[in-house]
Structure 1
Amino acid sequence: MDGNFGPMERVVWPVSVVSGIIMCKMVYDITGWISTLYFKGYNVLSKAQQIEWNNRGFSTFHAILAAAVSFYLLVVSDLFKDNFLDVPMIARKSVVSDAMFGISIGYFLSDLAMILWLYPALGGKEYILHHGLSLYAIFLSLISGKAQAYILMVLFSEITTPFVNLRWYLDLAGQKNSMLYLYNGIALFFGWLAARIVLFIYFFVHVYLHFDQVKSIFPLGFYSLLTAPSLLTVMNLFWFWKIFKGMVKTLFRKRHIQ
């Protein structure tokens, strides 16, 4: 892993992590500023609610950024395509992927710090476990330069976060009976199914098909690649079941009102 820490990494890694933290602070402040000007209900929220409101602002921003960069690197670019380079897929990386990992580390550190500071207002033990696993997996892939394609797949699943946050915003605004709340719930259900269930199935199939490369990773990375995503999959299934029950409840409520 020492060979992965060259002149470029010595600049990109710390700069991107700090940039991720600064990004969170800036978006947090901008979210509060815009909300004060354009959302009348924001000013009557409690301090705790305003903090979570702003926190979900930078959570949404990171999710969109991470999903966009992951999609570009995995689908649009040729970086991880089979037979594209002489370097095995498991060992490929780029400045863009390194920078995105650093920014995500900065985000997860910032969000985890807020969760612990205000515990349990912003999330319980499952959020701490999720962020801890995410930080561990991203950091290990960053410093080793291995399995970055797989970490990008997991990062792409953050695309569901804006729907989760919008549901919270609408609930807080008293819009649980609105059509927007219903449509967002349906989008969340199918988005979660695609990005956190089907994609994770594809993840493990891809690992199986490229197992000759996967098993060449250093031992800690190999076992981490098998265990960390497996734990995240269990958590995704648990949350998917809750999302499904919530959507069914909303649909029945709408039907009863009509």
Structure 2
Amino acid sequence: MEPLSLVVLLVPLGSFVSSQWLFHRGSSGLSERLTPAFITLNYTQRTQWNSRVPSTIHALVVGLLCLYILLFDEATRRDPVWGDPTLVKLNVGITSGYLISDLLLMVFYWNIIGEKFFVIHHLAALYAYYYVLSQGLLPYFANFRLLSELSTPFVNQRCFFHVLGYHKYSKPCLFNGVAMALSFFVVRIAVIPFYYRDVYSVYGTEAFYRLPLGARSAWILCSLCLDVMNILWMRKILRGCLKVLRSSRSQKATREVESKKMD
């Protein structure tokens, strides 16, 4: 395994430091200006909130860069297995730094934000991304996986609404819930067949057999692990979304009937 270059190390380090700063300092200052109700939150609520802010910023930066790479980066499409494009390394480096930061925060605040599935998710992703950063392997597929980040802002917004005391049947919560379910399905579930179609297209080729065994294992096993977790999360999100929508319609119908009786 080739050693990580200084430049490649600096990007994750910068992302890690930025994520830590946002959690400990930046989030509180920004949130107090944008949401006055932030000052009324207790310690547990603030910890949850502050962990979501770097997550949202990371997701927006990485998700948009991922789309740009998929649409316009010829180097990534030309050699999906052995290409070594700078933009993919930059994107993966940003994500790696954030994931390490988030893992550290979960360790220190486990009772508040700890989640075993998130730990598995982060470790699996970091294992696969190490090959991208150290050898530039599988850039197209590594970048493809980052599409999933585009659903994260809606997931985090759900937490923000909950902490602020929004009723789950309020219009902002209902709109965000539907957007969260749709975005999660599009960027994490609907893309699965296309991802494995591309995997199959390079399986058995010379480029595939040149990959070290560790890189092949990281690629396939980590992809399967992440997809299984995404399917389980999608099932949970869909059940919750449908339950809330049904209850909301039922309450609306009840209010309309009561209103007619009063008239």
The two structures have a TM-score, normalised by structure 1, of: 0.91
Q: Please name the residue that 2:83 is paired with.
A: 92
Which residue, 117, 137, 158 being the options, matches 1:167? Answer: 158
AA matched with 1:48: T
Q: 1:138 and 1:225, CA in 2 relative to 1: closer, same or farther beyond 3 A? A: same
Q: Please name the residue that 1:130 is paired with.
A: 121
AA matched with 1:43: I
* Residue 93 (structure 1) shift: 1.9
Q: Please name the residue that 1:79 is paired with.
A: 75
Matched residue SS, 1:120? helix
Matched residue SS, 2:191? helix
Q: Is the 8 A contact 2:63 2:147 kept in 1?
A: yes
Q: 1:202 and 1:120, CA in 2 relative to 1: closer, same or farther beyond 3 A? A: farther
**Where do residues 173-192 of structure 1 align in structure 2 (5 Å cutoff)?**
173-175=164-166, 176-192=168-184
Q: Please name the residue that 1:112 is paired with.
A: 103
Which residue, 237, 241, 256 being the options, matches 1:247? Answer: 241
Q: How many residues align?
A: 248
- Aligned partners of 2:61 and 2:34: how far apart in 1? 24
Q: Which runs of 5+ in 2 are unaligned?
A: 253-263
Q: Is the 8 A contact 1:80 1:89 kept in 2?
A: yes
Q: Please name the residue that 2:40 is paired with.
A: 44
Larger Rg: 2
- Aligned partners of 2:208 and 2:151: how far apart in 1? 28
Q: Which runs of 5+ in 1 are unaligned?
A: 83-87
Q: Is the 8 A contact 1:142 1:148 kept in 2?
A: no
Q: Please name the residue that 1:85 is paired with.
A: none
Q: Please name the residue that 2:50 is paired with.
A: 54
The two structures have a TM-score, normalised by structure 2, of: 0.89
Which residue, 143, 147, 155 being the options, matches 2:138? Answer: 147
Which residue, 186, 198, 204 being the options, matches 1:206? Answer: 198
- Aligned partners of 2:246 and 2:188: how far apart in 1? 25
Q: Is the 8 A contact 2:5 2:134 kept in 1?
A: no
- Aligned partners of 2:172 and 2:72: how far apart in 1? 32
Matched residue SS, 1:217? coil
Q: Is the 8 A contact 2:202 2:208 kept in 1?
A: yes
AA matched with 1:237: I
Moved over 6 A (4+): none
Q: Is the 8 A contact 1:153 1:199 kept in 2?
A: no
AA matched with 2:156: N
Q: Is the 8 A contact 1:12 1:95 kept in 2?
A: no
- Aligned partners of 1:149 and 1:79: how far apart in 2? 9
